[in-house]
Amino acid sequence: MSVPALRTPRVRPGETLAIALESVRTHRMRSLLTVLGIWIGIASVTLTVGLGQGAQQKVADQINSLGSNLLVVSPGSSTTGGVRAGRGTATTLTLADAQALADPTVAPDVAHVAPVRTTSGVLTSGSTTWTTSVTATTPEWLGVRARSLAEGRFLTAQDETTAAHVLVLGGTTVSELGLRTGVGSTVTLGGTAFTVVGVLADSGSSGSTDEDDLAVTPLSTAEAVLGTAGSNGSVSSIYLQGASGDRLSAAYQEAYAALATRHDTGATTTAGATTGTARAAAAAASTSSVDFSITSQQSLVQAATSTSKTLTVLLAGIAGISLLVGGIGVMNIMLVSVSERIREIGLRKALGAPPALIRRQFLAEACLLALAGGVLGLGTGYLGALLLPSLIDQPVTISLPASLGALGVALAVGVVAGVYPASRAARLAPIDALRSD
């Protein structure tokens, strides 16, 4: 008479998960300590990457606040007594250069041009004085620099034509002068009374410069009243606004070619793409006697964000060490769990449980612990993203793909950390396990 073969018991995935949950619940403290390592690791990586991305966005926003599709033309260097100063110290740019660049036949991809002369001046209102930056420019400056008005109006073509004694002030300047109402107030600059016709909306700081501490006046007024014009009608810089973002490279090349021709420098006019404008200018300057330079927002943004990305990767790597430590903790706890449950494993195998079932059981427990740590770590990261900006004045950007990636990493840590303990449990011989004390 033949003996019927024993059938291998089938365990559904739901039952495997229920057994794993029961094991975790039974050893609450041990499970909590295991989860804690993954929790801290995921939270650290999430916040570090979020801080890095927030810093990159903040830098890009600060640079973009200088203007939309902006190119800045600066004069070359000056030489005094045989000593050569840095770029921007010469007076090689003129109002005529700006007028030439505004000609659509010369630079068709340049939408607007705003020549600027900058100096410092002492403003007086009653008994209050304040030294600020005085910007002499044209009506195009407001749009080129992407600024807006909080109240009043900006400079007009009529103001430029008549050399009107009008000023547009920044919010900081209005505050420092103690003006109750900016528009309509009278302040003295250079011994001459000026009427405040507008107040700029706050723009914040750019590096160490307060963009809201300035006074804007027409170029013609600065020449007549403040005596800022040089013998050749020089300007401090020329702001150019490209017709669009994808035409900024063409605008750069057109402006470079036009200025090289006007200044008769003999410089080559071949320029790279927008992303390489700084390198192109440097290469041209090294092979010719150019007396000007052109920079773009993109080159500034790339340089700043490149540094931020490097720091973010470095800090994320350091934070990742805690995640590695958490994974080692999961492996260690699972090995302890295997040692404590040898008799249970032997009994289950004696009843017909195959090695694959035992392996799946311990892998499920490891993944459950790691996933719980990942969810808690993400929750802590999101909470930190809400609270930290108000404490450190630094934005924290956490994206959905990054969050899903963090959960995937947590799950992967659980799988990797659980493979060896699970395989060890699956290899146990039933008779040896049942003999264990």
| CA distance linking residue 240 with residue 293, whole number of Å | 13
Output the six-digit token pair for 53.
């991305």
CA-closest candidate to residue 196, choices 153, 138, 233: 153
Residue 69 phi, psi (nearest 5): 50, 55
Check residue 224 and report its DSSP letter.
Answer: I
Distances (CA, A) of 364 to 330, 354, 411, 435: 12, 16, 10, 26
Strand segments, DSSP code E, in 58-185 are 70-75, 77-80, 83-87, 110-125, 128-137, 149-152, 166-169
Beta-ladder partners of 196: 167
| CA distance linking residue 147 with residue 203, whole number of Å | 7
Confidence of residue 200 (pLDDT cuts 50, 70, 90): very high
**What's the pLDDT at 27?**
74
| CA distance linking residue 132 with residue 155, whole number of Å | 19
Residue 2, classified by CB atoms within 10 Å of its CB into exposed (0-12), middle (13-18) or buried (19+), is exposed
| CA distance linking residue 294 with residue 280, whole number of Å | 10
Decide: 217 and 135 in contact? Cβ < 8 Å: yes
Pairing of strands 77-80, 209-210: unpaired
Output the six-digit token pair for 308.
């931020």
Beta-ladder partners of 195: 166, 186
Domain boundaries, the chain: 13-61+303-435, 70-243
For residue 313, is pLDDT > 80? no
Output the six-digit token pair for 279.
């390198």
Give 23-73 pLDDT, tens digit per residue. 777 778 877 877 887 888 888 888 888 887 787 777 666 665 655 578 889
Decide: 259 and 102 in contact? Cβ < 8 Å: no
| CA distance linking residue 393 with residue 42, whole number of Å | 23
Decide: 35 and 372 in contact? Cβ < 8 Å: yes
Give 335-372 pLDDT, tens digit per residue. 777 777 777 777 777 777 777 777 887 788 888 888 88
pTM greater than 0.85 (yes/no): no
CA-closest candidate to residue 277, choices 252, 257, 258, 302: 252
Cα Rg, the chain, nearest whole Å: 34
Average pLDDT value over all residues in the chain = 77
- For residue 71, give the H/E element and its range: strand 70-75
